[in-house]
Structure 1
Amino acid sequence: MTAPENNFISHLIELRSRILRAIVSVLVVFLCLAYFAQDLYHLLAMPLLATMPEGSNMIATDVAAPFFAPFKLTLVLSFFIAIPYVLYQIWGFVAPGLYKNEKNMVAPLLFSSTLLFYAGMAFAYFVVFPLAFAFFNSLELEGVLVSTDITSYLNFVLKIFFAFGLAFEIPVAIILLCWTGATNADSLRAKRPYVIVGVFVVGMLLTPPDVISQTLLALPMWLLFELGVIIGGLYSSKKQQQESS
């Protein structure tokens, strides 16, 4: 067997090992949280329960939903909690192939992208959910009793979590684009009017059909775009100075 084939097989073995470690980390967190599955679901439902009309409750339309909905939430939450370790495994696999300046750039981006994803989820839970659910439950229809299905609610909030978590990654995406030379801060500033329209379109597509949720997603995306442009501009200037010297 030739040396390139040996290297390829060794890379595959390492990749398998790191994927298994990432999966095991998620399972370990899940086993630790499984006992508290019901409590975790109640905590997730609090923003809705606090705004529901008096005398109304959440319901389960599937006989197995009271069991599977909390455990589905716990599994997804376990992945969210294990994200830093999962990213560490990814970093451990790709780091040997990076140059020193690339390592200095990628490591902070992995750390900041994790924090931004968590920040997006926290913003959705503490800001978006209370306002959006209060708006939804204020729209009373005669003869209609508000009783949200627990599985439908879980799917709804998970979509919102992913939407806001990914939306908060905008600065990281912009910095990577500036780093690779695909664009620069001046070009992005010139496209600001199109970006503003674009973030409201994205907010409309990723959130429920109400102005509150759409605006609460679009405004942070715009502000994060501006932050990414500022940091990307600083990095581009620093890179140009290093190249000129």
Structure 2
Amino acid sequence: MTQQPDGNQIHPEQQEMPLIEHLLELRNRLLKMVLAVVICFAAIYPFANELYLWLSQPIRELLPVGQSMIATDVTSPFFAPLKLALVLSVFAAIPVILYQLWSFIAPGLYAHEKRLAFPLLFTSVILFYAGAAFAYYVVFPLVFGFFTAIGPEGIVELPDINSYLNFVLKMFFAFGVAFEIPIATVLLILTGATTPDDLAAKRPYVVVGCFIIGMLLTPPDIISQTLLAVPMWILFEFGILFGRLARREVASEDSEDFPGE
């Protein structure tokens, strides 16, 4: 502990750090993030082929008997599983990455901000994984079932492994980000950029916006667009609800800290 000229003590975390120390700490945090990804990659890569088979199961189950996926590029059988392992390593390391970011910014936050920031970070990880799981277990079977059933008769479907991987990774990212809507809504409310009542009043525009985003981020079929738009709208409503609760908690803490105001 140190003391100000008026005798008040300052916690060590509240003392200003020199710029060089901030940069060194940021470098150490980044190195730990990279190390986490490398460790996850080393653990995942030996199972890359099996993981690709698991990832491609939703479409392989719908292919006619005797048909399978193909590789139109000579290097695809090697690079497609490698790319999948690398992306999964980043996904698996997200908790460590967010924890390092949290550890870097936490000393500059007030106590009530820390109490809210950590749950928001933790919830954001869970929601991102939930969005990816929703895409795999709900969206993929319906979307691939639609695509394989709507094709002209006599056309043999032989999906390319690299094109399929790019498609599903895009869907994972789209649904993972879309499921972060409650976090974004709560942050907008807590920062004072808007209020729950204002967001509720703009609900019709939000619903239209959800379907527009669903149209832009998903294939051109009504099934996948609806499966993205409807959860986005529901999550927006949850964001308003949790935003009201979080704002009440912040207001009550402020009144306790400054009872005379």
TM interval, shorter chain, is over 0.9
- Structure 2 residue 102 is the aligned partner of structure 1 residue 91: yes
Q: Which residue of 1 aligns with 2:143?
A: 132
Given candidates 34, 37, 61, the residue that maps to 1:26 is 37
Secondary structure at the aligned position of 1:205 is classed as: helix
Q: Deviations over 1:83-115 (max 9, x none)?
A: 000001001111111111111111000000000
Which residue pairs with 2:4 in the alignment? none
Instruction: Determine which structure has more spread, i.e. the larger CA radius of gyration.
Output: 2
1:236 and 2:247 correspond: yes
In the alignment, structure 2 segments of 5+ residues that lack a partner are 1-14
Partners of 1:90 and 1:234 in 2: CA distance: 25
Preserved CA contact (<8 Å) 2:59 2:144: yes
Q: Does 1:221 align with 2:232?
A: yes
How far does the alpha carbon of each residue in 1:166-198 deviate from its partner, in whole angstroms, 9 at most, with x for none? 000000000101110111111000000000000
Counterpart position of 1:160: 171
Shift of 1:51: 1.3
Q: 2:133 aligns with which of 110, 119, 122?
A: 122
User: Would you say how many aligned residue pairs link Structure 1 and Structure 2?
Assistant: 242
Matched, 1:36 2:47: yes
Secondary structure in 1 matching 2:34: helix
184-193 or 136-145, which deviates more: 136-145
Could you tell me which of 184, 189, 192 is aligned with 1:173? 184
Residues in 1 aligned to 2:79 and 2:98: alpha-carbon distance in whole angstroms: 28
Instruction: Give the corresponding residue for 1:147.
Output: 158
User: Whose helix proportion is higher, 1 or 2?
Assistant: 1
2:87 maps to which residue?
Answer: 76
What is the CA-CA distance between 1:52 and the residue it aligns to? 1.7
Offset of residue 139 of structure 1: 1.4
Moved more, 234-243 or 80-89: 234-243
Percent sequence identity over matched residues? 57
**CA shift in 2, pair 1:181/1:52, >3 Å:** same
When normalised by structure 1's length, the TM-score is 0.95
Distance 1:78 1:133 in 2: 26
Query: Unpaired runs of 5+ in structure 1?
Result: none
| Secondary structure of residue in 2 paired with 1:201 | helix
Cα deviation code 1:196-222 (max 9, x no counterpart): 000000000000000000000001000
